[in-house]
Amino acid sequence: MEHEMKHAPGALRLAVCFARQRVEGNRWISHRWALVGLSLDDAPPPDDAQRVVVGGLSLSLHGDEAEGYLMNVAADEPSLFLMIRPADDAVPDGPPTVAAVSANFYEASRWMDAGESVERLPLPAGWAGAIEAFARSNYAPPHKKRGKRYAKTGDHRDRPGH
């Protein structure tokens, strides 16, 4: 069940930049694409042969993920997590695609547990505070579970071995 978001900011628009880096001494690959930057809007600069900007990305915050956001902003270096997938078969040498973006530490962990490739970038200035404020306004501590209750025997007799 999804909880209602309190004070939810709109989706934060962003673009990421991949740089094509030459790989020396490897007979199977000649280059690799490295995640090198982040732009805080949806209007990427023009691409060139060595750099590709992937725009149209957004980060949306969800109230039921507050605990994961708090875990992230409490870290030494709060991060933005990106699920990265290889280039599609139509352009085999092309840059990878960004399948999802999150600021939830637990969601990034689930992606990795599922075998996805996850990259991280430091959160831009000011984002950690906004994400923390949103998370604190939506955080609900887990409900305490009741202890297990066991049925009584009903005969109230002491029996050896029971």
What number is the average pLDDT over the span 54-83? 91
Confidence of residue 5 (pLDDT cuts 50, 70, 90): very low
pLDDT digits (tens, 9 = 90+) for 117-160: 999 999 888 888 999 999 999 988 877 777 776 666 656 666 66
Q: Are 31 and 20 in contact (CB under 8 A)?
A: yes
Which secondary structure element, helix H or strand E, spans residue 15, and what is its range? strand 12-22
Full strand arrangement of the beta sheet holding 97-102: 97-102, 79-85, 117-122
- Record the pTM: 0.74
pLDDT digits (tens, 9 = 90+) for 13-36: 888 888 888 889 988 888 888 888
Is-contact 79 121, C-beta < 8 A? yes
Cα 120 from Cα 62, distance rounded (Å): 19
- What percent helix, strand, coil does the chain show, rounded to 5? 20, 30, 50
pLDDT in tens, 78-105: 999 999 998 876 666 778 889 999 999 9
> For residue 77, what pLDDT is reported?
93
The DSSP letter of residue 150 is: -
CA 105, CA 96: separation in Å to the nearest integer? 22
